[in-house]
């Protein structure tokens, strides 16, 4: 087994171009599980641990989060807590401190694990992923980056270098339902972010990717519970649910209707 340890983004991109089949290791929390289960094997690996420029966090305007920024930093950083409380809450909900001290922002998005906490909040917050290869860089909305179960729209030689989250213009809430233990991944997650007079509601962990229905959200009447209930029921009816050990499809459908309603009422309370 050969480990490649670039020290700069440029070096990492060259390695990625030369070795597209080599797994990229950021925090390794999810990839480690796949390796132990025998689902991922490789002779060459690319570790980003030494690429310090990917570990930068800047909150001077929009929130700029390097791909190697740990979950724990977004949970605790005072600027994030103050100006992006929904983002802080979503990362705080992940597993346990020992996991959040290792797991990275780029890793959780590149894995595209349907049962992760952060993606639904990042989609609701209109976040963008900045990705790069040796030919250049581009930005992809998070709702276009994650396209299905463990699948992204990244080209095989691209790396996520940072995530940009616009400064919010209203309150946000993140709701997570756990069905087994306090450290469990979500059975259902709902993120709601208010932007002026509009709201974005995103449901995650119940299907292949986070789901947002703009036409349903356009009917929102702030603080009207019957309206929140109608939106919740409409969301629940549109998603093609999965069954797993955190809940059946039928159970999740009922939960989504309730959790969407609660999230909509929470952002105006």
Would you list the DSSP string of 113-147?
-TT-SHHHHHHHTT-EEEEEETTEEEEEEHHHHEE
pLDDT band, residue 16 (cuts 50/70/90): very high
145 pLDDT higher than 90: yes
Asked whether residue 117 is domain-assigned, the answer is yes
Is 106 in contact with 97 (CB distance < 8 Å)?
A: no
Q: 131, 165, 199 — which closes off a domain? A: 165
Asked, for residue 221, whether it belongs to a domain, the answer is yes
Say whether both 242 and 192 belong to one domain. Answer: yes
Query: Final residue of a domain: which of 130, 165, 200?
Result: 165
Domain boundary, last residue among 132, 165, 198? 165
Residues 83 and 115 in one domain: yes
pLDDT, tens only, 52-103: 999 999 999 999 999 999 999 999 999 999 999 999 999 999 999 999 999 9
- Digit-coded pLDDT (tens) for 153-190: 999 999 999 999 999 999 999 999 999 999 999 999 99
| Res. 129 pLDDT band, cuts 50 70 90 | very high
Give the torsion sign (CA, 144, 149, 150, 154).
negative
Distance CA(175)–CA(173), nearest Å, equals: 7
Our count of domains for the chain comes to 2
Q: Is 79 part of a structural domain of the chain?
A: yes
Q: Is residue 138's pLDDT more than 90?
A: yes
> Quick check: is 64 in a domain?
yes
What is the extent of the structural domain holding 84?
55-165
What percentage of the chain reaches a pLDDT higher than 70? 100
Predicted confidence at residue 52, as pLDDT, reads 98
What local confidence, expressed as pLDDT, does residue 36 receive? 85
Position 122 scores a pLDDT of: 98
Q: Each residue of 182-239: pLDDT tens digit? A: 999 999 999 999 999 999 999 999 999 999 999 999 999 999 999 999 999 999 999 9
Residue 44 falls inside a structural domain: no
**Same domain, yes or no: 64 and 135:** yes
Domain-embedded: residue 38: no
**Claim to verify: residue 109 and residue 197 sit in the same structural domain:** no
Claim to verify: residue 196 and residue 154 sit in the same structural domain: no
Residue 7, domain member (yes or no) = no
> Are 194 and 142 found together in one domain?
no
* 159 and 213 in a common domain: no
Are both 195 and 158 inside the same structural domain?
no
**CATH number of the domain that residue 252 is part of:** 3.30.390.50
Residues 104-118 pLDDT 10s:
999 999 999 999 999
Dihedral angle of Cα 132, 75, 118, 167, to the nearest 10 degrees: -70
The rounded distance, in Å, linking the Cα atoms of 14 and 20 is: 10
**What span, in angstroms and rounded, lies between the C-alpha atoms of 220 and 129?**
28
Instruction: Say what the pLDDT of residue 58 is.
Output: 98
Segment (H or E) for 56: none
9 domain-assigned: no
Structure confidence at residue 32 (pLDDT): 85
If phi over 0 gives left and psi between -120 and 50 gives alpha, with beta otherwise, what is residue 170? left
The pLDDT tens digits for 32-46 are: 888 888 888 999 999
pLDDT digits (tens, 9 = 90+) for 241-256: 999 999 999 999 999 9
Residues 64, 134 within the same domain: yes
Asked whether residue 206 falls in the same domain as residue 158, the answer is no
**What CATH number did the domain enclosing 115 receive?**
3.30.465.10
Give the pLDDT score at 31: 86
DSSP secondary structure string for all residues of 73-84: HHHH-HHHHHH-
Tell me how far apart the alpha carbons of residues 159 and 99 are, in angstroms, rounded to a whole number: 22
Same domain for 97 and 59, yes or no, is yes
On whether both 191 and 221 belong to a single domain, the answer is yes
């Amino acid at each position: 087994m050969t480990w490649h340890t670039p020290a700069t983004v440029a070096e990492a991109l060259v390695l990625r171009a030369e070795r597209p089949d080599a797994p990229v290791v950021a925090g390794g929390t999810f990839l480690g599980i796949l390796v132990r289960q025998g689902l991922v094997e490789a002779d060459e690996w690319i570790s980003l641990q030494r690429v310090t420029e990917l570990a930068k966090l800047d909150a001077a305007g929009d929130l700029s989060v390097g791909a190697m920024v740990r979950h724990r930093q977004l949970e605790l950083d005072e600027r994030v807590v103050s100006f992006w409380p929904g983002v802080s809450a979503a990362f705080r909900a992940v597993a346990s401190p020992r996991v959040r001290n290792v797991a990275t922002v780029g890793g959780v998005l590149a894995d595209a694990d349907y049962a992760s906490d952060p993606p639904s909040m990042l989609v609701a917050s209109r976040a963008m992923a900045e990705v790069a290869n040796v030919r250049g860089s581009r930005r992809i909305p998070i709702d276009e980056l994650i396209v299905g179960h463990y699948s992204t729209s990244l080209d095989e030689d691209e790396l996520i270098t940072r995530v940009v989250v616009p400064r919010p213009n209203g309150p946000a809430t993140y709701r997570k339902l756990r069905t087994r233990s306090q450290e469990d991944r979500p059975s259902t997650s709902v993120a709601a972010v208010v932007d002026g007079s509009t709201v974005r509601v995103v449901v995650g962990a119940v299907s292949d990717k986070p789901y947002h229905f703009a036409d349903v959200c356009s009917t929102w009447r702030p603080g009207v519970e019957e309206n929140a209930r109608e939106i919740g029921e409409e969301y629940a009816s549109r998603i093609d649910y999965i069954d797993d050990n955190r809940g059946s499809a039928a159970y999740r459908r009922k939960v989504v209707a309730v959790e969407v309603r609660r999230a909509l009422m929470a952002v105006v309370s």
